[in-house]
Structure 1
Amino acid sequence: MASLVARQLGALRRDALSLSARMLSTGLTNAATEDHEPRFLDAVGMYFDRAAKYSSASEETLKHIRSTDCVLSVSFPVEKDGKTVMIKGYRSQHSRHRLPCKGGIRFSSEVDLQEVKALAALMTYKCAVVDVPFGGGKGGIMINPKDWTEAELERITRRFTLELCQKNFIGPGVDVPAPDVGTGAREMGWIADTYRNFHPQDVSGAACVTGKSLSLGGVRGRTEATGLGVYYGIREFLSFPEVQQKINHHGKVEGSTVIIQGFGNVGYWAAKFFEANGAKVIGIIEHDVAAYNKNGINVEELSQWRSEHGSFAGYSGVQIVETPMALLEAECDILVPAALERQIGLRNAHKIKAKLVGEAANGPVTPGADEVLRKNGTIIVPDLLLNAGGVCVSYFEWAKNLSHLRFGRMNKRWDERSKAQLLTLVEGNAGRPLSEVERRELIHGAEEHELVYSGLEDTMIVACNETRQTANAKDIDYRTAAMTNSINKIAASLAGSGSIFTHT
């Protein structure tokens, strides 16, 4: 591997020198070198247009589905170090064919209007493809959370929530945010508390946001949901004979080599589930450095090291790669981009050696790169299907908050008694008596997180198989097939509801 990484680093340096020379000779800026790649919003539109011709929707319906319903853009002042800083925030509701709208809120200095609209559109298609009855939404605040104290972040979050309340862009039946890049359960708790103060008599107010801590009405299994959904989705695609034949793979997660880009919530949990099910996680890529071990990385140890030291650097159990993006191009069975959008583009798509790319992030592969990868025989499991685990379990949390009832509370003991009675009958008529440990395992009633895992697994299995069927029937790639299914489901919903403007 040392020689491989050395060759990759050398190639990257040569590419960088060549690029720098071209930039100097032409006067191009770094941003301008990417002009041949579409913006994120345009890329989502291109994927939609590619699938639209395989759908059964009319031209007028396609126009309706493709367009964004409404966008909120706000600015508000926040004091920092004795100075007033203007904060910019956005919330996009792409489609309200189903309510509420659903989508995360991210804190990032890269947030802009087109990114939020693109993510909201993806949420619409994502919810449809996994049969979650939400429209698509997304929000963002243009800040780097590392530049602000916890108290300042709380003021910003609560002020943004106030703007959402005043403009009717949040509510259990209107629009339900969730965590995204730069946010987590802490921020969701601030949002829920602010909404509750604005609507003190709304008994279902906890359902105004998902991804909350358990003490505030969260659901067990939500934190790891997206990473678990990534594992389930890739496991299903590896089981398809046509995928095994195309990429010459044995068809099991066990024994597969995995490289993951991004070690946030999604990347960490995806790595944990792959490792727990027998895969070798040989590479993990972060923004500053990457970690590599051909024999497999101990995911939990590496995570603890980074928590204590702020970086992978110095951890003795791996080889540190100083140019992290080089590891995207290393040999592996499964590559999981779990960071940000546009990580694989025309600049590096031809160098990707992974047999299967699983899009755990939103939009990590540009349309041009998508075409290159497919021509090279790489299987791509698309983002709108693969990373839907988060919104699926958010749906469970929302339903829990509306019902005011923890999953399993009504039936757990009943199930255990029924199993115990059946087991006693079987023991009395056949075979040896069971040990106490064996007996407890067999009669165990499902806990909330086990029910959530079961619901997520069933959702991903069904959606993956629907995508496979459409791809095989129409002879199209999996991204186009998933988008086609999504368009058809949304179109059916719109047709079923009719229109108040229909002439009779």
Structure 2
Amino acid sequence: MSKKNQSITGAYSFFNCIEKNFDKAARFLSIEKGLLEQIKACNAVYRMHFPVKIGGKIKVIEAYRVQHSHHKLPCKGGIRYSIKVNQDEVMTLAALMTYKCAIVDVPFGGAKGGIKIDPQTMSTENIEKITRRYTSELIKKNFIGPGIDVPAPDYGTGEREMSWIFDTFLSIRPGEVDALACVTGKPISQGGVRGRKEATGLGVFYGIRELCYMKEEMLSVGLDVGLVGKKIIIQGLGNVGYHAANFFHESGAIIVALAEREGAIYNKKGLDVSKVILHLKDTGSILNFPEAKNIENTENALELECDILIPAALENVIHKNNANRIKAKIIGEAANGPITPDADDILEKKGIIIVPDIYLNAGGVTVSYFEWLKNLSHVRYGRMEKRFSENMNAELLQVIENVCKTKISTEEKKIILRGAREIDLVRSGLEDTMISGFHKIRDLKKSYRIENIRTAAFVLAINKIVDSYERLGIFP
């Protein structure tokens, strides 16, 4: 960990931050200490070094795969490509995956992978070489497979890398009938599921929207019920932040600021996200957007007046040195670990509602679960029922027209008759998952008389993991 990170996180490593939040929750539970230690610990840490020939020279690549929990199998978690990848980071992200999956009832143990490279400086050919070699190393140690460990995209990776992983797995394990389910986040043509790209951002939207529907919570921070008119700041315009910004904008919320690494832009009347993205594509930066004011220091954007602040990029961006200057009423952790434990305490005393990462950004793994199920069933969503639903709707519509002695317009008929497509079913499942997860946390928070949502979410996750161990008969 860098000296800068040490100064803002205190004595805690990234993994220690998660352990501290875990320990806060454990105080509300009468669970044997040994079992709690087992739940906290990473079950398996695989650190590897392998050679790859790049530019005629052999380069040794450092990489990781961490399986945090085996209380349910397979393990599940993304693979990130970044020069900043280290063991502490991968262990932490694996632990977060365990708790996320437990909260939203996705039957996986948490895992995470990482390769220490900068994909921006490498050719496609070399990235492919490294990806395929990494996959073969995972296969050798039995760290990948439909029922063992299922990777997914993360920072620096996407559909392309997932398709290479699948192809490598299939070439080494020919005839594996469920090979498609060895990895998720694949292209649609290779068994991917529609709606995966925007899933995490859409999950963030559903979670914050549900909170804003709660009259009691909105009264506590002096806001009206609903999203319309809420002023929102989003830090990070990657896959998560971009899609979240679009969904909030479409819902009637006002995006007053967007922040990226090079700086931020601000307009108190609101920013048109689609126009900002076009400007970004044309210029390579969000700065100097014609309808906004530049903010040179991106961290300063976090401290602007707003109703909802959504850090959707890096960990530890809100810390003890800036927490007192945060003016948002609600913070939605779209990124992993954007608030340090010290900052958490400061923000709680200020009465700010924090919607934690272990719930709010679970949309990605939820839809990855849907893709995994699709691959195991070998049938795309909607194939069995879409036409049947349309035919039933047509018959019902005919009865209504006969009884009412009126004709329904062609446009209205199209809306009524349409059967559910795969993306409709995926988004419906994600919406139900996020709403259900929110209310489970909220109900538990009230029943245990817990002060904040984060601790309640950890209590919920721990309870579910303990229940899984007891069902397995491991700890009678």
TM-score when scaled to structure 1? 0.92
Residue 410 of structure 1 corresponds to which residue in structure 2? 384
From 438, 445, 449, the counterpart of 1:475: 449
Residue 203 of structure 1 corresponds to which residue in structure 2? 177
From 41, 53, 58, the counterpart of 1:67: 41
Residue 442 of structure 1 corresponds to which residue in structure 2? 416
Residue 260 of structure 2 corresponds to which residue in structure 1? 286
Residue 464 of structure 1 corresponds to which residue in structure 2? 438
From 354, 366, 369, the counterpart of 2:343: 369
Q: Say if 1:29 and 1:207 are closer, same or farther in 2 by CA, change over 3 A.
A: closer
Extract unaligned runs of 5+ from structure 2. none
C-alpha distance in structure 2 between counterparts of 1:32 and 1:250, whole Å: 39
C-alpha distance in structure 2 between counterparts of 1:66 and 1:257, whole Å: 37
In 2, are the aligned partners of 1:228 and 1:269 still within 8 Å (CA)? yes
Mapped pair 1:493 → 2:457: no
C-alpha distance in structure 2 between counterparts of 1:357 and 1:125, whole Å: 20
1:233, CA displacement in angstroms?
Answer: 0.2
In 2, are the aligned partners of 1:55 and 1:485 still within 8 Å (CA)? no
C-alpha distance in structure 1 between counterparts of 2:209 and 2:32, whole Å: 35
Residues 169-188 of structure 1 deviation map (CA, whole Å, 9 limit, x = unaligned): 00100000111111111111
In 2, are the aligned partners of 1:259 and 1:335 still within 8 Å (CA)? yes
C-alpha distance in structure 1 between counterparts of 2:182 and 2:268, whole Å: 45
Letter of the structure 2 residue corresponding to residue 471 of structure 1: K
Mapped pair 1:112 → 2:86: yes
- SS of the counterpart of 1:104? strand
1:79, CA displacement in angstroms?
Answer: 3.0
Mapped pair 1:171 → 2:150: no
Residues 114-147 of structure 1 deviation map (CA, whole Å, 9 limit, x = unaligned): 1111110110010000000000000101112112
Residues 325-381 of structure 1 deviation map (CA, whole Å, 9 limit, x = unaligned): 100000111101100111111111111101100000111111111111110010000
Residues 153-192 of structure 1 deviation map (CA, whole Å, 9 limit, x = unaligned): 1111111111111111001000001111111111111111
TM-score when scaled to structure 2? 0.97
Residues 44-87 of structure 1 deviation map (CA, whole Å, 9 limit, x = unaligned): 00011110121343323212211110011011123333433221
C-alpha distance in structure 2 between counterparts of 1:186 and 1:403, whole Å: 23
C-alpha distance in structure 2 between counterparts of 1:381 and 1:66, whole Å: 22
Mapped pair 1:92 → 2:92: no
Instruction: Within 5 Å, give how 1:412-431 maps onto structure 2.
Output: 412-430=386-404
Extract unaligned runs of 5+ from structure 1. 1-27
In 2, are the aligned partners of 1:338 and 1:361 still within 8 Å (CA)? yes
In 1, are the aligned partners of 2:235 and 2:259 still within 8 Å (CA)? yes
Residues 209-267 of structure 1 deviation map (CA, whole Å, 9 limit, x = unaligned): 11111011100000000000000000111112221111111121111111111100000
Q: Say if 1:270 and 1:37 are closer, same or farther in 2 by CA, change over 3 A.
A: farther
Residues 71-117 of structure 1 deviation map (CA, whole Å, 9 limit, x = unaligned): 11011123333433221000000001111000000011111101111
Residue 18 of structure 1 corresponds to which residue in structure 2? none
Q: Say if 1:390 and 1:32 are closer, same or farther in 2 by CA, change over 3 A.
A: closer
Mapped pair 1:452 → 2:394: no
Give the superposed CA RMSD.
1.5
Deviates more, 1:192-201 or 1:28-37: 28-37
Mapped pair 1:44 → 2:18: yes
Q: Say if 1:274 and 1:35 are closer, same or farther in 2 by CA, change over 3 A.
A: closer
Mapped pair 1:235 → 2:209: yes
Q: Say if 1:282 and 1:238 are closer, same or farther in 2 by CA, change over 3 A.
A: same
Q: Say if 1:65 and 1:30 are closer, same or farther in 2 by CA, change over 3 A.
A: closer
Deviates more, 1:41-50 or 1:292-301: 292-301
Q: Say if 1:196 and 1:43 are closer, same or farther in 2 by CA, change over 3 A.
A: same
- SS of the counterpart of 1:133? coil
C-alpha distance in structure 1 between counterparts of 2:441 and 2:5, whole Å: 36
Query: How much identity, in percent, do the aligned residues show?
Result: 50
1:469, CA displacement in angstroms?
Answer: 0.6
